[in-house]
Structure 1
Amino acid sequence: MLQNNEKQMSFQKEKDLVKAFYEDLQLASNDKLADVIGRFCAPNLLWRGFHPFGQISGVHDVAENFWGPLRNSLKRMQRRQDIFFAGCNSLTDEREVWVVSMGHLMGLFDHSWLGIRPTGKMAFLRYCEFNKVQDGKIVETAMYFDIPHLMVQAGQNPFPPQAAAHLVQPGPLTHDGILSTDQPVEEGEQTLALINAMISDLGQWKSGLTLSEELSRTWHDDMIWWGPEGIGATYTIDRYGKQHAGPFRAAFAERSKTKHVCRLAEGHYGGFFGWPNFTAIPTGGFMGMPATQTPGEFRVIDIYRRAGGKLAENWIFIDLLHFWKQQGVDILERTTGIGSAQV
């Protein structure tokens, strides 16, 4: 654990770096993307993204394989940020600072991306990004995004009807998710402790409590779970249990222990990501598809808002394309006609 004097240190320098990066990235022409990324990121940047991207190493490859094609497709792209905070990774003994940004990348969908047909209209790509800042440079990035939601906007629905609802998801109810200045340390500690308690409950699946009783230990009754396309968003503990948590637990067996790369909190906000977070075996059917009995990885980002002594909102990013590819189903190829290897 970090010593108290280390916890008191400000994250303003790291936040300012990431803000400046976003501003310059917004203004850069496509032929200057690698130059901009190179000014703010280490040459050997480790970048993790959802399928079909996976891990990319190096500034040039990140610009060429991700940002360039996306910017060419979503013209005049804006980063519409709903949550922004920073903190020390609670899973390491050293002072390891990460800056988190969540919202939508919005633009005019004028050219195909990953085989998804353009609409010529506004389109929104849900994203959440964790940036590790070290010695004045971004050295690692986890950039997770909801590709199936973009597919639905283009009229190419990749999944059977989902149990919950999916919309262009709003930011926090309280409209206070942009933490431009440092927050009281005690608030972040409370948020992190609550997230850890929730993870402990979640990891058991056999606590002896009913699902509703278990959830009510760490969640407000009017919680909102902002899930990904293919699962959807759900409101209140009761509906969350019926529309996602209950069916999910019934669909899987042999869930591994939770393993995160980073877990942090600042103020009333916190979150984590893994690569993967856990593995599980689909034994009861999932998302309208039959059980495969094949272990699958879940690459996930979770972002939380705490209200008082319990969690109130949760935004979730799950790499469903990667999960189903492991089960023998290439969702991109099935829906767009373009195989992942061609992207």
Structure 2
Amino acid sequence: MTDLQNAKNIVRGFHAALATATPDTVADVLGQVTGADYVWRGMHPFDQQSGAADVARVFWAPLLTSLTRLQRREDIFFAGLNEIDGETSTWVVSMGHLAGLFDAPWLGIPPTGKMVFLRYCEFHRVAGGKIVETALFCDIPHLMIQAGQDPFPPQTAAHLVQPGPIGHDGLLYDANDPATGAATLAAINAMISDLGTWGLGLPLEDELARTWNDDMIWWGPAGIGATYTIERYAKQHSGPFRAGFTERSKTRHLCRMAEGHFGGFFGWPNFTAVATGGFMGLPATGKPGEFRVIDIYRRDGDKLAENWVFIDVLHYLNTQGLDVLGRMKAGLRT
């Protein structure tokens, strides 16, 4: 538990330094807190970067230039040992929104001069007093929609600026009973086991009820949206998603862990599947597509109650031959 608290303090120190960074100083901020062989994984078009200087140049400096007066509005924060590598590595998770004034173009998205919210979630691996690995996913299409550049047909669920957990209790700055986190991880693993079958011979709603509370909320990414209750989740995402793909690979995660009533995972990619048509209103391609995903969960009782989902939709569409950012720059809709 001491190691987890030390890792949390390192990440919180990084966030504090980042809050006062400028485009010119952010490389130094990253350099002070990251290891020499720092690995960073981000959403398309950033993908994988190595070293503090490249991460600052490619992601942070342009973002700080475009979203001025940037502030972190954190909803969930926890740490844990990674189940995937036998609990030999320590990771810290932060999730919420990066809020700022959209004052200059970013990735070709035209500025509004107004306040915007960029959904984010990051996993940091901490070792030797440094951040040595990061996965940082942000919902770029969600920002596009706020800027009047909606690239998608109507979503199956609702487009929202998404709140944190219902109890406002997701900031686990202090230590927690390991048994509580173990129960959360067990609930997540039970859900993954059911999901991996894509069908237990049960009606979909009955299958979901094995691991989800009835009043669950699935906070999905832009292009899909958020949905509430098992019945609506089955109709507005899970059912359409399963109907739109075949040949789903096994789930592959780089990190999976929990603390308290919160837990989550990410993969690079989590899985692949072949599009048979319908997902996000798109036709069948017959091509396997990669799904890079971060999932964060809240457990209530012995089942899952909330799920914040970050899918690298732009990367998936790129694997299907659709360049969303390129079409936006050309004035075309997806």
Same fold? TM cut 0.5: yes
The Cα shift of 1:31 comes to 1.2
| Corresponding residue to 1:59 among 52, 65, 85 | 52
1:222 is matched with which residue?
A: 215
2:81 is matched with which residue?
A: 88
The Cα shift of 1:98 comes to 0.3
1:204 is matched with which residue?
A: 197
1:315 is matched with which residue?
A: 308
| Corresponding residue to 1:247 among 231, 240, 252 | 240
| TM-aligned CA distance change 1:166 to 1:19, over 3 Å | same
Deviations 1:116-153 (A, max 9, x none): 00000001100000000000000000000100000000
1:163 aligns with 2:156: yes
TM-score, normalised relative to structure 2? 0.98
1:22 is matched with which residue?
A: 15
| TM-aligned CA distance change 1:331 to 1:208, over 3 Å | same
| Corresponding residue to 2:30 among 33, 37, 42 | 37
Distance in 2 between residues matched to 1:284 and 1:337, nearest whole Å: 25
1:336 aligns with 2:304: no
1:283 is matched with which residue?
A: 276
The Cα shift of 1:321 comes to 0.4
Counterpart secondary structure, 2:285: coil
1:4 is matched with which residue?
A: none
1:122 aligns with 2:90: no
Distance in 2 between residues matched to 1:104 and 1:87, nearest whole Å: 22
The Cα shift of 1:29 comes to 2.3
CA contact (8 A) 1:332 1:338 kept: no
Q: CA RMSD in A?
A: 1.1
| TM-aligned CA distance change 1:326 to 1:219, over 3 Å | same
Counterpart secondary structure, 2:13: helix
1:268 aligns with 2:256: no
Counterpart secondary structure, 2:25: helix
CA contact (8 A) 2:22 2:64 kept: no
CA contact (8 A) 1:156 1:336 kept: no
- Matched residue type, 2:182: E
Distance in 2 between residues matched to 1:264 and 1:338, nearest whole Å: 42
Distance in 1 between residues matched to 2:329 and 2:226, nearest whole Å: 25
1:131 aligns with 2:129: no
| Corresponding residue to 1:233 among 226, 229, 234 | 226
- Matched residue type, 2:296: I
1:153 aligns with 2:146: yes
Deviations 1:275-299 (A, max 9, x none): 0000000013211110101000000
The Cα shift of 1:206 comes to 2.3
Deviations 1:245-283 (A, max 9, x none): 000000000000000000000000000000000000001
The Cα shift of 1:32 comes to 1.2
Distance in 2 between residues matched to 1:297 and 1:288, nearest whole Å: 18
CA contact (8 A) 2:22 2:61 kept: no
The Cα shift of 1:309 comes to 1.1
Counterpart secondary structure, 1:257: coil
Distance in 2 between residues matched to 1:249 and 1:164, nearest whole Å: 15
The Cα shift of 1:109 comes to 0.1
The Cα shift of 1:166 comes to 1.2
> What runs of 5+ residues in structure 2 fail to find an aligned partner?
none
CA contact (8 A) 2:251 2:270 kept: yes
2:183 is matched with which residue?
A: 190
Counterpart secondary structure, 1:27: coil
> What runs of 5+ residues in structure 1 fail to find an aligned partner?
1-7
2:101 is matched with which residue?
A: 108
Distance in 1 between residues matched to 2:270 and 2:331, nearest whole Å: 28
Deviations 1:17-41 (A, max 9, x none): 0000000011122211111111100
Distance in 1 between residues matched to 2:314 and 2:250, nearest whole Å: 22
| TM-aligned CA distance change 1:247 to 1:109, over 3 Å | same
- Matched residue type, 1:142: A
Counterpart secondary structure, 2:100: strand
Distance in 2 between residues matched to 1:250 and 1:319, nearest whole Å: 20
| Greater Cα shift, 88-97 or 231-240 | 88-97
2:249 is matched with which residue?
A: 256
Counterpart secondary structure, 1:316: strand
Counterpart secondary structure, 1:30: coil
| Greater Cα shift, 22-31 or 141-150 | 22-31
Distance in 1 between residues matched to 2:147 and 2:260, nearest whole Å: 37
- Matched residue type, 1:42: G
| TM-aligned CA distance change 1:338 to 1:137, over 3 Å | farther
CA contact (8 A) 2:5 2:174 kept: yes
1:5 is matched with which residue?
A: none
